Amino acid sequence: MAHPDPSSAPSPDLPATSTEPLSTSEPGQAPSGPLTTAPSTTRWTNEQTLCLLELLLEARREGRLKSSRSFAIKPVFENIAKRLESQFKDRVFSPKRVDNKYRLLRQFWRVFEEAERMPGTVYSPETGRLNASKANEEILAARHHALGRVVIQQGLLINEWITFESWEEIFSEELGTGEFILEADDDAGFARAAAREAAEAKKSGTRRKKARLEAARHVHDPFLSGATPGCAEGSSSRALVVSRVPRPPSTPSEVTEGRVPRPSLKRRRQQSDELMTLISGLVAQSQQPKKIMISSRMQGAEDFEKAAADIRTLFPEEDVSFLWKAFKWLAASSANPLIWNALRSEKMKREWMERVQTRCASEDRE
């Protein structure tokens, strides 16, 4: 009997809340054995899942997965769906289906990463599985129910290109550049940020206060730890017995009282020579010609030049009128080039320049 492509074995296409296995095959391996039914149109095969992971890894490295907002990530999933359909022509991939699979894989990875970090758990890069103790398996099952057991039993789906490090890179929780930046006039946003900082500071102060009180309760008091010398055993009162330690007799000073010892003649001559050497060096240094470098460039010219070059590179298609307004804004204040150079992403710079152009246009009309 002819065997079909082993990579066509189905893997579930489930929402992010699912706890079923990612695939029905060994992790890191394609399933083996004959199939008696046609490939499912609602389940992902291992080959399709690995292809999706490769496309997600490519998008992550190109910076297209930095934002988790729907308006930013929807075009990414649309592009991935088209590329999957071109690769697997017998299957229809919608952006929603790609989104659901992405959420399922992300949830699976978070539980897998938690399990891998548990003490006593060892990851095998050859099989993609975790070797965990029985106690760790029970902890995962209690926290994540069926998904906790699946993580241990199934492991990661890996191949030559998709490894543990690839999963880690794809589903990294680091915020991309430009995330959650507030506009200059967003008073409500700044108020929310200030409230969060105040709440965090209050929580931190409360934790420190509790730690100090806890430490104070555990301070060892020698007068409360046992019977005090000088008290009869069984007595309810505790008396503090202070023993006087006799002071050692003071030795007479070698220097006669009221007389300051004078340095020797040799020491005085040495100090005099050192002082004369220091004075001679200072005089010689003051007589040397000094070079004063006067720069002909105005202050802040480097920042202005950098900002202007960046604007020309970012807007190569714009005309002279656009550049004139942009450079006029840069020259209006020495702080403007610094503001422009501080903007991190191309998106922020384009939005900022759009506001600059609008303001300059309104000023010209007035």
Q: pLDDT digit string (tens) for 82-140?
A: 999 999 998 999 999 999 999 999 999 999 999 999 999 999 999 999 999 999 999 99
Pair 9, 49: CB distance under 8 Å: no
Average pLDDT of every residue of the chain: 75
What per-residue confidence (pLDDT) applies to 164?
95
Question: Would you state the pLDDT for residue 277?
Answer: 86
pTM: 0.41
What's the confidence (pLDDT) of residue 24? 38
Angle at 257 between CA 253 and CA 259, to 5 degrees: 115
Top pLDDT among 5 and 112 is at: 112
Helix, strand, coil percent content, the chain, rounded in steps of 5: 55, 0, 45
pLDDT band at 159 (very low <50, low <70, confident <90, very high): very high
State mean pLDDT over 223-242.
46
Tell me the DSSP string of 64-117.
Answer: TTS--SHHHHHHHHHHHHHHHHHH-TTS---HHHHHHHHHHHHHHHHHHHHHHT
b vs e for 136-151, b when ≥16 Cβ sit within 10 Å of the residue's Cβ?
bbebbbeebeebbbbb
Residue 37 has pLDDT above 90, yes or no: no
Q: 244-272 pLDDT, tens per residue?
A: 555 555 555 554 445 556 667 777 778 88
Percent of the chain with pLDDT over 70: 65
- What are the sequence ranges of the domains in the chain? 6-170, 301-365
Query: What's residue 14's pLDDT?
Result: 40
